[in-house]
A and B are shown apart, each in its own frame.
Chain A
Amino acid sequence: MAVTCSVAATEPAAFDDVVERCRRAGLEVAERLGAIGVVTGTVDESALARLAAVPGVTAVERARSVQLGDPDAPVQ
């Protein structure tokens, strides 16, 4: 399941620590986004609670998709 996680730490070493803990909790890391304090990746549904409980993780959400209309549509 693709997820996005917000991380409380902003300072790089602390951010990296939390990301590492997320990885050990079962997150397969896709992107480490230090400037916005987010780590994205995939995780087994059974590990979701464990991931959400990682110290420093403030939210875990299922990743959404967005879809634009057809390029020929008059309203975009």
Chain B
Amino acid sequence: MATSRSRRGGPPEEPEVGTTGRYLVLLDERDLAAGARAMRRQAGVRAVASASEAPEGLEASGADAIIFDDIGVAVVDARPDRVASVRALAESAPSILAVEPERYVYAIDSAEYARGYRDGVADLVRRLDGGAGPEQEATTSLEAAAAAAGPGAAATSYTWGLTATGVPATTRTGRGIKLAVLDTGIDVRHPDVARRTIMLASFIPGQTVHDGHGHGTHCAGTAAGVANPSTGQPRYGVASRAGLHVGKVLSNQGSGTDQQILAGINWAINMGCHIISMSLGAPTSPGQSYSQVYEQVGRRALARGVLIVAAAGNESSRPFQIAPVGHPANCPSFLAVAAVDPNLAIASFSCGGVNGGGGEVNIAGPGVAVESAWPRPVLRRTIAGTSMATPHVAGLAALWAETDPALRGQALWDQLVASAKRLPLPARDVGAGLAQAPV
């Protein structure tokens, strides 16, 4: 499947903004030699067999391409007159699965190189995962706008939730911080997502990470949506440059088991995520204690410098009834997030710390009339829930984590709590108050 935007012949084009001019070629791992042959015969590309043959990198080796055997990716530095044939390889050679412009330049050090191309593979893999068929050109005006605008351009307006938490004034973007959203997955071909590199995994048997529900896309958008969405203003994402990891632990029907959720947490920690956002849970009854298994998970995470942020739950019908914080947010080691509305009043559905013994609300986030991304064709949607408040806090945690490498795990939790905006509401309902961004 070719992912290049133009199939025209003619004079060589300037590299797209944000790309290096080189290409990543995804080879069929079952026959790397066939892929190398196809590159040579059809595009005149001379490759060295593996990174070990060219430790100084592509330029120094004199080859046109290096193949990273263990991940089945070749980096091709094609001569200008060869670019069109390189791009055409995905159509012309069965042993070549995809061709993609390289987005970033990596250091010559070979381990760094391989890691970078693994990110490149993840980018390719997510295109393959979400795609229904080959797509040669930007076919919609939204995709063309995405290509033109770029994710880095400054936004001009923000959702109320971003404004209330101080995002417009912050200099931080979450860059260098890895944030996992464990939910129903993400629409990988949503125009606002399409230019972002995301690590993906599905823990739902028989379902890909593609979001067939909507909830996951909305939450991921709030936590880490791009600064200049191609679907238009206002901006809705908090940590626009965080390393986004999407783990599908809830099915397209919105259901998940502990087995899937715990596997997702394990994955996020193994992937080096600093923050895990979980907008999911089950109701608890008054007096019910928290899960010992999840509490151990939360403590292990904090000890490793990982902060888990979870939704307090939506079972209340205030003022008549305040439901207790749900599972797993009721674990003491999980940062439990309540929802406030645009007047900074407690949302009617937001669960409260009525159980004690761990089932407290720790902090609050914007959770009413929250606009974010939604799977195609809807693209944008405004909904409510502690599910929406949670990724706000997770994104804000990423901004704080970027300010200081010591802000990890419990220290990051303490910083969020210390810097929260105090509200004239009971701690039972909002914990320390409304989470805020660093300046």
Contact = CB atoms under 8 A, between A and B. Distances in A.
Interface stretch (B191-199, B259-267, B420-428): B259-267
A58 B385 contact: no
Interface in B288-308: 291-293, 296-297, 300-301, 304
Given A63-B257, A64-B327, A66-B250, A36 B301 contact: yes
Contacts of A61: 258, 291-293
Interface in A56-76: 58-59, 61, 63-71, 73-76
B282 A37 contact: no
B68 interface: no
Contacts of B250: 66, 68
A33 interface: yes
B388 A76 contact: yes
Interface string B188-217: 000000000000000000000000011100
Interface in A6-65: 6, 10, 30-31, 33-38, 40, 58-59, 61, 63-65
B384 interface: yes
Nearest to B311: A76
A36 B300 contact: yes
B384 A76 contact: yes
Contact of A75 (B261, B265, B385): B385
A52 B385 CA distance: 37
B384 A71 contact: no
Most buried by B among A10, A37, A38, A69: A38
B300 A10 contact: yes
Contact of B259 (A30, A58, A75): A30
Given A38-B266, A64-B327, A68-B213, A75 B384 contact: yes
B262 A33 contact: yes
Contacts of B263: 31, 33, 40
A75 B281 contact: no
A63 B262 CA distance: 10
B236 to A, nearest CB: 15
A66 B241 CA distance: 30
A17 B258 CA distance: 23
B117 interface: no
A61 B257 CA distance: 13
Nearest to B369: A74
A71 B214 contact: yes
A68 B280 contact: yes
Contacts of B214: 71
A6 B293 contact: yes
Nearest to A40: B259
B349 interface: yes
B330 interface: no
Contacts of B282: 64-67
Nearest to A69: B254
Nearest to A58: B296
A2 B269 CA distance: 23
Given A75-B349, A76-B385, A37 B255 contact: no
Contacts of B304: 35
B270 interface: yes
B387 interface: yes
A30 B254 CA distance: 21
A36 B257 contact: no
B256 interface: yes
Contacts of A31: 259, 262-263, 266
Nearest to B314: A75
A55 to B, nearest CB: 16
B184 interface: yes
Given A33-B263, A69-B254, 10 more contacts: A10-B300, A35-B266, A40-B258, A58-B292, A63-B257, A65-B255, A68-B280, A68-B387, A73-B383, A75-B383
* A-B complex: 3 closest residue pairs judged by Cβ atoms: A68-B254, A59-B292, A33-B266
13 contacts: A2-B257, A31-B262, A31-B263, A33-B266, A34-B266, A35-B270, A38-B262, A65-B257, A68-B215, A68-B254, A68-B387, A71-B215, A73-B383
Interface of B: 184, 213-215, 218, 250, 254-259, 261-263, 265-266, 269-270, 280-282, 291-293, 296-297, 300-301, 304, 314, 327, 349, 383-385, 387-388
